[in-house]
Amino acid sequence: MGNDARTPDAAASVDFEEVQSTERFQELRKRHRSFVFPMAVAFLLWYFAYVLLADYAVGFMSTKVWGNINIGLILGLLQFVTTFAITGWYVSYSNRRLDPIAAEIRNEIEGHEFDKDGNIVTGVAK
Amino acid sequence: MIGIATAVDVADLKETTLLNMGIFGLFVAVTMVIVLRASRNNKTAADYYAAGRSFTGSQNGTAIAGDYLSAASFLGITGAIAINGYDGFMYSIGFLVAWLVALLLVAELLRNTGKFTMADVLSFRLKQGPVRIAAAISTLAVCFFYLLAQMAGAGSLISLLLGISDWGGQALVIIVVGVLMITYVLIGGMKGTTWVQIIKAILLIAGAAVMTFWVLAIYGFNLSSLLGAAVETSGNPAVLNPGLQYGKTETSKLDFMSLGLALVLGTAALPHVLMRFYTVPTAKEARKSVVWSIWLIGLFYLFTLVLGYGAAALVGAETIKSAPGGVNSAAPLLAFHLGGPLLLGFISAVAFATILAVVAGLTITAAASFAHDIYASVISKGKADADTEVKVARRTVVVIGVMAILGGIFANGQNVAFLVALAFAVAASANLPTIVYSLFWRRFTTQGAVWSMYGGLGSAIILIIFSPVVSGGATSMIKDANFALFPLSNPGIVSIPLAFLLGWLGTVLDKNREDSAKQAEMEVRSLTGVGAEKAVDH
């Protein structure tokens, strides 16, 4: 059963289950999930808290803080700030913690897939 | 109503029609030359659908912003804030925060596992036939709703610029816009479309920046004074508070929640946004694209806050509502108030270009989905060569173009941001659960995917049909009948959880297990980028 989402490529005959079970891949998976899941939960909670406040706590949101600027506007603008902050945080986390290990695994697989003469080597050589 | 509001005389607008058309014509001419140049290298399917994967992260990020900042963002949100005050601002926040879902959970993993369309990823480790067909159908449905919104925007803009709501005249201009769009996509493919998006994004953001600066300058760069002026013109202090539009009843409050849910979960499931991640060479560039687009889109939505309240203060809600084009005319009317015919001409041309570019992006997505997922993978069972596939895609472009023109002619003056929110609800219901499950849940099966996609798509569309949007209300599409059994105008709060539930239920009740080797392959590929499609060299 071919999947034409993929073309024959450098990784066509790799034993992915073996790669998946390696400690290094599990470490990558753990690092990825332990960042994106809590972060996704956190920003969604913060966003829905904001929507609920705007919906059911109109009086609180309408409290004027400075001139015509009320709490609703400040919290709304804070949503922008947190979005930018999480974006920056994720990029720096990926650059430091995810990209190096992903590149290592990729090079290992692709490097051993075809040797310099173009012979196919199956499996993941260590 | 204070004196300043009457400074915008709608009748004056007609005199600027020629100027508007001139500026728009110039845009068309310049972009057409670029599209022709870009199309020289369109040889393979990867060229046609994915621009040879040769764009950089920042180029693609700008193009994503171009795709995303549609007429809904510019005309719709500005209008919503001008009329409904704070409740309109909600669109800006939802549309922006939603990008975190795309950034954290979807963009890079998708780039690493797919090739051309959303279905490539969804069907990666599940059964090709049923999943591809379901994904293609939901792609076509989302694109159709989105197209409807853009065409409604085109209609509003035209009726404002020509000062007429004459049905025949509007229809003619919609046909011209549609034919132009078909030409761009046929000639330029993804590469041409991407360049149009980039140019348009720059023009749109620059135009909005100039207007924002101008409005702020009028109020001494004091946001509080601007808000005060908006209150003064509207005579209603509540424009600064939440709840003006959605706070009236318990039902409308629920509707607000539903809208909020659809906005934040829809973006990462929009097929035309997902497809853009394939136009860059690596996952890292896909990440860069998203970061670029988050900055550009965030900046733009901050502008809309100023523009919306600026329109409320300087033009006035009553003038906006009574102008041809209604709510959607707030931004052009503000431009006219600030800079006279020249700025109006520029802003209208940008808005036209926006519609044209977004429609082109949607069309190529729908065409790719039909040709790649239904024709090549299912009808011809993978035997069609790439040339035939691209030929089918081009024919599909023409069919979709004609449908968009017809839809646009019949689309009425509903708020464009609101119509787009429906497309978001459909996307979040039909696509997001399956995208998330197949990327992160090992056990997920074909039955779960099919149940979730059809369940989400079907429930969202059925709820829209039986909602006040379609019948029973003063602003409904069908005013004379009332079959609005569902009280909310956005279905998200019901259909999105339902789709997640169906995906889970379909999986746990499925006796078949999916191939664990495929799951391993997808997980390794998605996180490491092993064997991902590379850029095409020319």
User: How many percent of chain B have pLDDT more than 70?
Assistant: 90
**What is the predicted pLDDT for the residue at B82?**
92
Start-to-end CA distance of chain A, whole Å, equals 29
Give percent of chain B with pLDDT exceeding 90.
26
pLDDT given at position B16: 67
For residue B478, what are its two tokens? 């069908």
More confident residue, B58 or A77: A77
Region A107-119: mean pLDDT is 58
What structural domains does chain B harbor? 3-411 (1.20.1730.10)
Partner B, chain A 64-103, Cβ-Cβ below 8 Å: 66-70, 72-73, 76-77, 79-80, 83-84, 86-87, 90-91, 94, 99, 102-103
Using an 8 Å Cβ cutoff, are B414 and B152 in contact?
A: yes
**Does residue B7 surpass a pLDDT of 60?**
no
- Alpha carbons within 13 angstroms on the beta-carbon side of residue B462 total 8
Record: contact B524-A43, CB cut-off 8 A: no
Q: When comparing pLDDT for A29 and B168, which is higher?
A: A29
Comparison of pLDDT for B484 and A25, the residue scoring more:
A25
Task: Look over chain B and give the mean of its residue pLDDT values, rounded to a whole number.
Answer: 83
Per-residue pLDDT, B283: 83
Where does the pLDDT of residue B533 fall: very low under 50, low under 70, confident under 90, or very high at 90 and above?
A: low
A63 touching chain B per CB within 8 A: no
pLDDT for B163: 63
pLDDT at residue number A85: 96
B256 chain-A contacts, CB cut-off 8 A: 51, 54-55
Residues contacting B13, CB < 8 A, separation 6+ = B160, B161, B163, B336, B344
B270-329 residue pLDDT tens: 988 888 888 888 888 888 888 999 999 999 999 999 999 999 999 988 888 888 777 888
What is the per-residue pLDDT for A74?
94
Q: Best of A29, A41, A55, A86 to disrupt the B interface by mutation (most B CBs within 10 Å)?
A: A55
- Asked if B253 and A40 come within 8 Å (Cβ–Cβ), the reply is no
**Which residue intervals of B240-282 are DSSP H helices?**
250-266, 271-276
Position of tokens 């997922």? B373
Q: Please give the Cα distance from B340 to B336 (Å, whole number).
A: 4
- What are the extents of the domains in chain A? 16-111
Give the chain A residue nearest B225 (alpha carbons).
Answer: A68
Furthest-apart CA pair in chain A: how many Å? 73
CB contact under 8 A, B128 and A3: yes
| Lowest mean pLDDT, pick from A48-62, A111-125, B202-216, B516-530 | A111-125
Task: Give the pLDDT score at B11.
Answer: 55
Q: Which amino acid is at A4?
A: D
Instruction: Name residue B348's amino acid.
Output: S
Asked whether the predicted pLDDT for residue A120 surpasses 50, the reply is no
ipTM over 0.90: no
Interchain proximity B241–A61, CB inside 8 Å: yes
Chain B's closest residue to A41, CA to CA, is B101
Question: What single letter denotes the amino acid at residue B282?
Answer: T
Burial, B131: exposed, middle or buried (Cβ in 10 Å; 0-12, 13-18, 19+)? buried
- Distance of alpha carbon B429 from alpha carbon B452, whole angstroms: 8
Q: What is the pLDDT of residue B5?
A: 37
Specify the higher pLDDT residue, B260 or B147.
B260
Give the pLDDT confidence score for residue A12 in this predicted structure: 59
Tell the residue number behind the tokens 């809590």, with chain if given.
A38
Nearest Cα of chain B lies from the Cα of A26 at a distance, in angstroms, of: 10
Higher per-residue confidence, B304 vs B123: B304
- Nearest-neighbour CA in chain B from A115: distance (Å): 15
Taking an 8 Å cut-off on Cβ atoms, the answer to whether A28 and B528 are in contact is yes
The residue among B285 and B475 whose pLDDT is bigger is: B285
- Pick A3's closest partner by Cβ from B103, B124, B242: B124
Mean pLDDT of A93-109: 89
Residue B183: other Cβ atoms inside 10 A: 17
Q: What is the pLDDT of residue B536?
A: 61
- Comparing B237 with B153, the larger pLDDT belongs to B237
Give the CA radius of gyration of chain B.
22
Among the residue ranges B203-207, B400-404, B468-472, B498-502, the one predicted with the least confidence is: B468-472
Asked whether the predicted pLDDT for residue B218 surpasses 50, the reply is yes
pLDDT of B472 > 80? The answer is no
Using the beta-carbon criterion (under 8 Å), do A55 and B115 form an inter-chain contact?
no
